[in-house]
Amino acid sequence: MSGISFPAGACDTHMHVYDGRFPTAATATMTPPDASVADYRMVQRELGLDRVVIVQPTTYGLDNTVQLEAASRVGERARLVVVVDEHTPISELERLDASGARGARFQMLPGGALDWPSMAPVAERIAPFGWHVQLQMDGNLLPDRIDGLLALPTPIVVDHVGRFMPPPEPESEAFAALLSLVDTGRCWVKLSAPYESTHDGAPRYPAVTALARVLVERHPDRLLWATNWPHPGQADPLTVDEIRALTLDWLPTPEVRQLVLVDNPARLYGF
């Protein structure tokens, strides 16, 4: 399987850039080592990736400068997910949109810059731009949040196979809530970062793999894929070979790899 290459146009929909020249936000809980576009290009080459979505990490709060600079270095093959709040001027949203922003991130775990009350007003503000809300939370709490999420005027992108901490059984109420979101046709799920849910069974993560396989079987047209490079907070991050092997396990056929790695992100991010 290691000899199988990713299809042309493959997109990594979630990675971060870190630069110690820029201040850490007061809300942040981690300041990872520097990770540059040049460093990431080695990963791109090894995996055969053509496109990338650069996601604002919690380290920089509402200051998107580091990620904007990274996107400018990559050029037309990059898109952005930024962090904005309900007070961000429309002129700034226009600037971000012109720079490649296609979503607003909500990290609902320690270190996130925004909390739940900000989500609906931000979603109203970004909806005219065609952006989505990118959500990271403990997926086990989804049943309590699903009504509010369904009321948003934007698509929703759920990070890291739902980031259930710990992963439930596929028959659980929490996973059923995620499936019901995807069933609406307004929600996407990123197949990425299983280590954010559990460290059991690395590097194949069987509990997370069980959930990923259900999603792939049920809704391959609503899935995205990502490396989560540089794996912030991980003492023993996945190697490129381990990422490739896990990806080919989750996406076992050329047809599903074309859909998840190329066609779906092209549609969502406008490549």
Please report the pLDDT score of residue 1 as a whole number. 44
Q: Which of 177, 11, 24 is nearest to 100 (CA)?
A: 11
Q: Which tokens in the block code for residue 200?
A: 């059991």
State which CATH number among 3.40.640.10, 3.20.20.140, 3.40.50.720, 3.40.50.300 fits the domain covering 11-269: 3.20.20.140
Catalytic residue among 64, 140, 228, 264: 228
pLDDT tens for the chain, 271 residues: list them.
445 679 999 999 999 999 999 999 999 999 999 999 999 999 999 999 999 999 999 999 999 999 999 999 999 999 999 999 999 999 999 999 999 999 999 999 999 999 999 999 999 999 999 999 999 999 999 999 999 999 999 999 999 999 999 999 999 999 999 999 999 999 999 999 999 999 999 999 999 999 999 999 999 999 999 999 999 999 999 999 999 999 999 999 999 999 999 999 999 999 9
CA gap 34, 22 in Å, rounded? 10
Predicted pLDDT of residue 220: 98
- Assess contact for 182 and 212: CB atoms under 8 A: no
Mark whether 264 is an active-site residue.
no
Q: Which pLDDT belongs to residue 254?
A: 96
**Max Cα separation, the chain?**
49
Q: What is the model's pTM?
A: 0.97
Distance CA 197, CA 168 (A): 10
Of 151, 157, 148, 166, the closest CA to residue 211 belongs to: 166
Q: What is the pLDDT of residue 4?
A: 67
Which residue ranges make up each domain of the chain?
Answer: 11-269
